[in-house]
Amino acid sequence: MALSLDREAFSRRLRRLYASWQKGEDEFGGVDAIVVAVGVDEEIVYAKSTALQTWLFGYELTDTVMLFCEDRALFLASRKKVEFLKQVAQGKGGDGASNGLPAVTLLVREKNESNKANFEKLLEALRGSRAGRRLGVFAKDKFPGEFMRSWNDALSKESFEKVDVSAAVALAMAAKEEQELALMRKAAAITSELFTKFFKERVMEIVDADEKVRHSKLAEAVEKAIEEKKFLAGADPSAVEMCYPPIIQSGGNYNLKFSVVSDKSHMHFGAITCSMGIRYKSYCSNLVRTLMVDPSQDMQDHYGFLLTLQEVLLRELRHGARLCDVYGAVMDVVKKQRPELLGKITKNLGFAMGIEFREGSLVINSKNQQRLRKGMVFSVNVGLSELPNREAKRPEERSYALFLGDTVMVDEDGPAVVLTSVKKKVKNVGIFLKNEDEDEEEPDKDAAEDLLGRSSRAALLTERTRNELTAEEKRRAHQKELATQLNEDARRRLTEQRGEQQTQKARKSNVSYKSAALLPKEPHVREMKIYIDKKYESVIMPVFGIATPFHIATIKNISMSVEGDYTYLRINFFCPGSALGRNEGNIFPNPEATFVKEITYRASNLKPPGESTVPASNLQNAFRIIKEVQKRYKTREAEEKEKEGIVKQDSLVINLNRSNPKLKDLYIRPNIAQKRMQGALEAHVNGFRFTSVRGDKVDILYNNIKHAVFQPCDGEMIIVLHFHLKNAIMFGKKRHTDVQFYTEVGEITTDLGKHQHMHDRDDLYAEQMEREMRHKLKTAFKNFIEKVEALTKEELEFEVPWELGFNGAPYRSTCLLQPTSSALVNCTEWPPFVVTLDEVELIHFERVQFHLKNFDLVIVYKDYARKVTMINAIPVASLDPIKEWLNSCDLKYTEGVQSLNWTKIMKTIVDDPEGFFEQGGWSFLEPEGEGSEAEPGESESELEDETFNPSEEDEEEEEDSDEDYSSEAEESEYSKDSLGSEEESGKDWDELEEEARKADRESQYEEEEERGRGRKRKGPPGRGRPHPPKKKRK
């Protein structure tokens, strides 16, 4: 297949080269022609000559001489290359110069001859260009080979003066076009993927397993990894290569340059610096990170300062700024904040890159006067070396270095844009080990640990969920510490909040008319008929011969009935004592006033002589209009209530740049309208905007997002981006704190009537297509997330639920609940479930009994006024993993065999916090001693009976009065479990009923002891006499 050449790009770039030459300053403007000769040398990776060829043609052309004269360009190359170059020579002729382009002349190199004739033509063209004396050349480029030697000999015979124009040409090529930037973004994405998915994971494995691996071996493994497609972000492997062999350093031996190679020393578990760069389709990228294993506070502080310096550097890299000024701004920060580090910082802070990895003329140092231009791409690298480690115990730990670098693009206004979106905060690059050396005080080591061969180095806690077995004693000891801390913190918090009295909102006092003069002068009012004033939303009724107005808000309901010859209209009013929910006394502005409870009017259905209508028609009209006004009022009130407490958001700042991160064909939940609609989610300067196909807009600001969760489509039918907000937003006339954007993966419904066959080609093809679709969607979503995190400078971080999860029913149906780094979530079902771990006070497990298959989990929040969250029907098998997870999150948990009345418990705490904590605080939930599980009564329930533990009457009362804390779900679940466990005894209900009747008959005649023995003999072990199931109480 013939190679194609982008003629437009060639013309554009050649025009740019000539323009910078013609208006060139210093020596570049003074040259008469530019000579570029490229030979064959496999060892030369980066050269200005080959970079210029790649920039113009997209390929390297070996054994080729290029001359750029004043009004024409000449290329001497082999026949094959000339055929390729004909694509740019066509149509240029003599009119090329008028477009700012020189005419192109192609000369075919002869293999068997000495090319004298061709060389003469070239030299003649040089002599005829401008003054024909000064030649611009790339002084450092020296290629071997016979052809190059003969050309250099021919050139040296002439009396030309040679001037090095490398820096000037580099500056002309430095500002990248959008096409070039796309390639560099791809190179940066591959570098990021390789570091995150391969290198970082491999280092974590090495540290976890306490392996001994040499730096050079690990570097080789990184180089081999680019042969695997899964690390290449979907790129063609043949177009991917390393910019340089990866540099891995640790253990006190650091050289923060890119010219060094990884040594053969074993990797030391301290500060591990890694530099790697990927070259994609000839365009380079670079990434530098330092992974820190169990970093000391001093190391973390130094790393934090390094991050600050990089932020300053990125902020200063703006269009028009001078490189020396950028360097100076960073050094000023060092002088002001940490002057002792001036001698330890890297000598330069980065360099321009593109087709060449390092552009020597565009280095960020104190002397470079060159100005930055929009579109330039830099590798920015800030490092601190020879930092002393005060906690060192071994020679290799005495000093360490920190190195941080990214590939960035200079923007017109605003800081440089980071292309390598690899997270770099301490929590992202720190590998924290949980040492088990603390347990050395215990004389007996856990035998199971020795059998498993676990080293003293414990499991990694960074970005991983470890399911290793830990002793129950260790958990209990940790929980004991947490219990003490919990009570102290809660007591202090409640004492601070004591002064803040929570005032309940009184019902709005709706006055019909401020004065009697405003009463309408309608005939109905004068005639003592019922009149509805729609303007003031009031009903004027005759009461004892006086027209009395009542605001529509005071009317609870109305009813109309016809009995015989009369129509009755009954109007019920709100008053203290009517069913308005709990604490109703506070919602009336003046509860001591005299209230009208109801009024009934009667009118005849018989038409009196001479009247056109029956008297009852007034009541019928009044009934209809009151209903209408009431409906309108209630709708308005509901809307106002929705808007209550809505925090006014900032306006979204739209980024007009077309390259904004964007995801198309997404659905939004909850729906904007009744019918779900597709739309696009786009990230702007300070927030997201979702635009539906109908044109509806929903804006979510970054600073209003509490949790951003990405739920991949592994094992799910949808792929989701979920936002849990700090403050609710309004859309679709309702307020929402949870908004998610999703798209479906594969078919959610299955045609059961379709004939299924294991080897059906259509089915296999459909499965293959679904797999590809899943992969494609995951990649698109991940790219979007990475771009957004880069755009927000990682202020907004997306959390991915861990694989560790458990089934439970937080609402009506069972779903999979999964922890993230800061929350417990379920995003695939609606409504979603999100609990922020920082807001949780403690977790209580209810109904934890040996014979039950599942238990309930209650989440108590630090804000005691907030309703507790209950998750029902969690399988018992999940209990230990949940405990382990909570323990690792430093969350206190307790367990008990009963379901508690949490409304009363929380009310008791809020009413008398001092008394609650004097009695031991949350310790009442703790089982006292080992025997308390077998006997769930005595010591625990005594305290509960006093203040907390509900009797059956309490529960019934609670069901009637309190909707929020209804325990129906708990009871039904409890009865289901107990029935389920009785089923396990193997007898059906008929047999159990018969046994129960028989036992009842025998109990009338037998002695107490005998009856006890008979009961033990007939019932299931430890269960007492079996009873038929009780009917569920309505």
> What's CA 797's distance to the chain center, in Å?
5
d(CA 833, CA 891): 19
Buried-state track 461-491, b at ≥16 Cβ within 10 A, e below 16: ebeebeeeebeeeebeeebeebbeebbeebb
d(CA 644, CA 638): 10
When the pLDDT of each residue in the chain is averaged and rounded to a whole number, the result is 81
Q: What are phi and psi of 562, to 5 degrees?
A: -110, 120
CA nearest neighbour of 725 among 742, 735, 739, 711: 739
d(CA 1031, CA 405): 69
* Residue 190 in tokens: 């591959």
Res 757: pLDDT: 59
Is there a cis peptide before residue 810, judged by omega within 30 degrees of 0? Answer: no
Confidence of residue 825 (pLDDT cuts 50, 70, 90): very high
Residue 193: C-alpha distances to residues 188, 222, 779 (Å): 9, 12, 11
Per-residue pLDDT of 232-261, as tens digits, reads 877 888 889 999 999 999 998 999 999 999
CA nearest neighbour of 557 among 634, 484, 504: 634
Q: Listing from the earlier edge strand, what are the strands of the sheet with 538-543? A: 531-533, 538-543, 546-551
Res 770: pLDDT: 85
User: Which single residue is written with the structure tokens 């068997």?
Assistant: 112
Residue type for position 738? D
What would the mean pLDDT of 617-625 be, rounded to a whole number? 91
Confidence of residue 1 (pLDDT cuts 50, 70, 90): very low
Parallel, antiparallel, or unpaired: how do β-strands 566-573 and 598-604 relate?
antiparallel
Residue 636's H or E segment, with its range, is helix 616-643
CA nearest neighbour of 88 among 149, 7, 166: 7
* Residue 1020 in tokens: 């299931």
Residue 197: C-alpha distances to residues 202, 547, 868, 992 (Å): 8, 80, 40, 60
* Residue 576 in tokens: 């203290």
Contacts of residue 938, defined as CB under 8 A and 6 or more positions apart, other chains included, come to 932
d(CA 404, CA 916): 52
Res 335: pLDDT: 94
Burial class for 688, CB neighbours closer than 10 Å (0-12, 13-18, 19+): buried
Per-residue pLDDT of 345-388, as tens digits, reads 999 999 999 999 999 999 999 999 999 999 999 999 999 999 99
User: Which single residue is written with the structure tokens 């997330």?
Assistant: 785
d(CA 181, CA 196): 22
Res 635: pLDDT: 82
**Res. 1030: pLDDT tops 70:** no
Confidence of residue 752 (pLDDT cuts 50, 70, 90): low
Res 364: pLDDT: 95
* Residue 781 in tokens: 């979503």
Confidence of residue 930 (pLDDT cuts 50, 70, 90): very low
Res 455: pLDDT: 39
Dihedral, 441, 446, 452, 455 alpha carbons, nearest 10: 0
Per-residue pLDDT of 398-454, as tens digits, reads 899 999 999 999 988 778 999 998 889 888 899 887 654 444 444 344 433 333 333
Per-residue pLDDT of 209-218, as tens digits, reads 889 999 999 9
Say whether pTM exceeds 0.75.
no
Helical H runs in 194-273?
201-209, 215-225
Confidence of residue 989 (pLDDT cuts 50, 70, 90): confident
d(CA 94, CA 106): 14
d(CA 485, CA 475): 15
18-32, 752-766, 965-979, 1005-1019: which has the minimum mean pLDDT? 965-979
CA nearest neighbour of 420 among 220, 219, 276, 316: 276
Phi-psi region of 26 (alpha: psi -120 to 50; beta: other; left: phi over 0): left
Q: Would you say 744 and 718 are in contact if contact means Cβ atoms under 8 Å apart?
A: yes
What would the mean pLDDT of 541-569 be, rounded to a whole number? 91
Residue type for position 993? E
CA nearest neighbour of 161 among 35, 49, 271: 35
Q: Would you say 886 and 835 are in contact if contact means Cβ atoms under 8 Å apart?
A: no
CA nearest neighbour of 921 among 502, 495, 476, 499: 495
